[in-house]
Structure 1
Amino acid sequence: MKTKLLFFIVLLWSPFLRAFSQEIPQISVVGQSQLEVMPDEALLTVSLNAKAMETATATAELNKKARQVKTVLENSGVEDYELTAENYYVNVNRVYAKGSSKDSGYVASQTMEILVRDTGEDLLKVMQALHGSTDMGFQLSYRLSDETKKSYLEKLLEMAIADARRKASVIAANLDIDEVFVHRVNYQGGDSFQPVVYGNERFNMKAADQQAPPTLQPGEQTLTERVTIIFTFER
């Protein structure tokens, strides 16, 4: 009985023993790449709000400001831009003072985004137009268009693969391994391919304010890519 039991245990373990003995030797490395690229579009985020004792009045005043932004853009002489409206809401205007709160009418708010594809003259025209129109605040951020990011994707990936091969070769040379071969590639489809936003600047413009618009000096954005490659070799 003991002999049969021992034979049964050996049969159970034999596949695991064979798998262990046939384990493929591996070298796993992460290839990385990086490029500095100038942004090719700008996003202006305009914050609008209006206060009134009645919701209808607050909403009407907010819509008036939104139409004014649209008119200003149409008269700026810039054609290559996109205007979208987001985050429209009306809340109670709750005022806090001396540890207590008091409701004082309503505040209607909305965010408008202006995408300008020319970071030079067109962007300056749009900012000057907003600057001279009405009291408002807007935020400026530079970024890369989807087309630009896609155009650099192939180059970044080639650089990341070359980096992985170089690292594997250094490891192999220092371990007296003659040659390595690609066994498996793990690529996440550009999860790390995200631009670093250059910077956000807040501008509070008033119609009576005659100061010149700020000098715009966008900086380069960093694009990165990575790929994991597992190499094997003969023992």
Structure 2
Amino acid sequence: MNEYVLFFIALVPIVWLIVSLGVLKLPAHKTCLFTAFLSLLIAIIFWKMPVIDGVTASIEGMAIALWPILLVIVAALFTYNLACETKTMDVMKTMLSSITTDNRIQVLILAWGFGGFLEAVAGYGTAVAIPASILASIGFNPIFAAVICLISNTVPTAFGAIRIPITTLATVTNLDVVQLSFITSLQLAGFIILIPFLLVILTERNIKAVKGVF
């Protein structure tokens, strides 16, 4: 089969996941289970993957999702809830928001800096949910706060959740993790420089906004 056709076939589960969650608003647990089954079916039919290999690969994927990915999420949620219960989160909000009243600097500190830190230590949505909630609590539009944090989170994701994406990719491709990390860092270098400027421009909706914080 033509490699271009295979490429578009491989996109089917990803497209379905986006449409089912974002457009059709289907429950995540149902659509993700169906997507996993669809991916397995495509692998067996179009890539001629042996059924036993496909089933065992699916089981391995579930195991990886439970350990360490789910473990990291549970730990992050526990830490966040503990911080809220002990009022430590309120102290962090006050401290982070009192550094400056300039919206551009607040976005850089909370969405880019603090969000990047959260992505590194926890990942899986915490880098968007927590900074966005803090930005909303200090007066930012909630939708804008969520969007700006999503944009900020594009670069840190490669090394998110204690570098799980990189180590997983190194494992499945048998590539050296240090070399892979180096190449990934080179690929992201331009975006690391560009995105802070983009965040400032989006915050003030004016390219001239960069001048004041350059």
* Between structures 1 and 2, the one with greater strand share: 1
Query: In terms of Rg, which structure is larger?
Result: 1
Question: TM-score, normalised on structure 1?
Answer: 0.26
Which structure is higher in RCO with an 8 Å CA cutoff and minimum separation 6? 1
